[in-house]
Amino acid sequence: MTIAVGIVGCAGRMGKMLAKAVMDDNECCLSGGTENVDKFVGQDIGKLIGTEEIGRRVLDDTKELFNVSDVVIDFTTPKSTILNISVAKETETPLIIGTTGFSSKDDEFIRESVDRTVIVKSSNFSIGINIIQSEIEKISGMLGSQYDAEILEMHHRNKIDAPSGTAIDLGKAIANGRKQDFSEVARFIREGEIGKRQYGEIGFSTLRGGEIIGDHSVMFTSPNETIKFTHNAHSRSIFSDGAILAAKWSINAKAGLYSMQDVLRIS
């Protein structure tokens, strides 16, 4: 069976890569894409992404896209994604979410919206990151708070949220391993005379510049040693490949909220 996959925000950098990855996958076909920018609406998606015309025009009607798709992939913005979740719920179409920067209110809305459809939500669809996240949770439980935990992330200059969703998820993995409340131990800002580092806190450092796709490092440091996990994304294709894997998996899943670790069976 060929899976019809729709792409929300198909004219963006990630949207174009997702559309091309779907077209290159022999188990999938591109059902269409949407954009909210007038200059893209009506264009042939194939031409938009730099290939030959494929007879699929860019739509501005999200519901139309969901109606002709078996599953939809959304790597846009929190505001757009929240609207698309309502459409996914109405049409009972699985939705793969790679958007980051959601508020706690947004997250609550997402959790409440999966009674009739499948949502796979991940801050990072890289297989490597998800394996590291799983291992970090185990290791942080063994090391405990006597090892200081720090997370460093760097992304391209155009990324609009900070820290990255991946960095936050890595921090939550550390807190889960230690059986801590993440909101109580996360330290996002250090400036001025802040006093000595508190035991048990999880520190975050954010860098932005150039065209860095995504670099993440997690460090556990004691007086005698440092244990370091590092992941560097060399191509955005790791995200599109993972999203398509999740899209295929979602077709046979029961209604509910899932992560990429569920897809990879490592959670």
Q: One of 20, 155, 172, 231 is an active-site residue; which one?
A: 155
To the query of whether residue 155 is one of the catalytic residues in this protein, the response is: yes
Rg (CA), the chain: 20
To the query of whether residue 159 is one of the catalytic residues in this protein, the response is: yes
> Side chain identity at 223, as an amino acid letter?
P
Considering Cα of 13, then 218, then 230, then 120, what sign does the dihedral take?
Answer: negative
How far apart (Å, rounded) are the C-alpha atoms in residues 140 and 185? 14
Helix axes 165-178, 127-143, angle to 10 degrees: 30
Q: What is the DSSP string of 215-258?
A: EEEEEEE-SS-EEEEEEE-S-THHHHHHHHHHHHHHTTSPSEEE
Q: Report the Cα–Cα distance between both ends of the chain, in Å, rounded.
A: 28
Q: How far is CA 46 from CA 21, 29, 51, 67, in A?
A: 12, 12, 5, 20
User: Which residue, among 267, 249, 164, 149, has the nearest Cα to 214 in the 3D structure?
Assistant: 164
Q: How far is CA 108 from CA 113, 219, 262, in A?
A: 9, 30, 19
Active-site residues: which are they? Answer: 155, 159
